[in-house]
Amino acid sequence: MWNLYALYQGQWIDILKYCNNLSWSDDADTLAVSLSFDSILDLPEARTHLMLKKDSKTVFAGVIVNKANKDKSSSYTAMDYAFYLNKNDVMIQFNTNAKTAIETLCNKFGIKHNIITLNTAINKFYKDKKISEVIDDILTQCQNETGSIYIKEMQGDTLYIYNLDNLKLDCKYAMSNDFNITRSMEDMVNNVIVVSTEESDSRILENIKDDMNIGIFGQLTEMLTVDKENESQARNTAKNYLNQYNKTKKEMTVTLLDIENCEDIRANRKIYIPIQKYGMDGYYRVKSAQHTLANNNHKIAITVDFS
């Protein structure tokens, strides 16, 4: 049972029966989940908070940020509360670990948070950056050091930072045969050189390459810079970068029909995909997900990264 609640005069009212063309989407490269729909109701933008629920589970919570009035109906776009992370500039300096840095940032703006342990040292000054950009940069530094992929997302009004490996979906779906699989070597890197940011130091701190892949694909070099304080981690940084990019990028798009728990599908979750003939049989990262709900039929178009 699906419900779309709108907060009106302090009360949550179900407006789903007045709405159609309901869809919501999420991409690993975007910050917020966006939900759009048409309705015969005239809802005020910014002041109308929405909550999409399936039974008792909250699927989306956010605020209307855009509306377009037509003759007899209006079109609305709502974003989850991560929208505000991209609308506030910040000037801040950190000399601490990543977890404390993100907590300090969240506390400064009164953002509730739930963050896993991140021990990477952050010594950086951010000037006129969005909150989301600062968090992304911190998580990238963590990823370069540890090799794990960290993701951020808003659930209700709380910012969560997770390790991607722990986010496996438990859902049932019917998969259409309209899948499309693409493979590309455009972003491949098989030779990583690490140098210091120290102006007076032109040494190459580390150089890791994959000779076999260079023989097959040709040499594709990336040069990374690390702070003087992080020189000891240069080898780790190079190794993690090579692990991440020394492969062809493989993506699959497909449409799924919800049987059970597919409302949990969103970007940066791992979903089980069995297409053995193309080498897919395991949990893969969802890069983007677009949900549509019409006549109680819930379909999800997903892009999966199985590099």
Which sign, positive or negative, has the C-alpha torsion 45, 48, 52, 58? positive
27 binds other proteins (CB under 8 A): yes
Task: Out of 228, 278, 279, 294, point to the residue binding other proteins (CB under 8 A).
Answer: 228
Q: Provide CB contacts within 8 A for 216, sequence distance 6+.
A: none
- The tokens for 221 are 């070099």
User: Which residues within the stretch 28-47 sit at the binding site for other proteins (CB under 8 A)?
Assistant: 29-30
Instruction: Find the binding residues for other proteins in span 138-197 (CB under 8 A).
Output: 197
Where is 15: in which H helix or E strand?
none
Site size for other proteins, by CB under 8 A? 21
What distances in angstroms separate CA 56 from CA 59, 106, 258, 296, one per listed residue? 9, 28, 17, 16
Distance from the Cα of residue 31 to its chain's centroid: 6
Torsion of CA 273, 276, 278, 284, to 10 degrees: 30
- Quick one: which of 6, 15, 22, 25 contacts other proteins (CB under 8 A)? 25
Residue 109 in contact with other proteins, rule: CB under 8 A: no
Name the segment binding other proteins (CB under 8 A); options: 4-12, 69-77, 91-99, 111-119.
Answer: 91-99
For helices 234-245 and 131-146, the axis angle rounded to 10 degrees is 100
**CB-nearer residue toward other proteins: 41 or 251:** 251
Stretch that binds other proteins, among 27-35, 184-192, 215-223, 270-278 (CB under 8 A): 27-35
- CA-CA-CA-CA torsion sign (54, 55, 60, 61): positive
List the interface residues with other proteins, window 251-290 (CB under 8 A).
Answer: 288, 290
The reply on whether position 124 binds other proteins by CB under 8 A is yes
Give residues in contact with other proteins (CB under 8 A). Answer: 25, 27, 29-30, 91-93, 123-125, 127-129, 197, 199, 227-229, 288, 290, 303
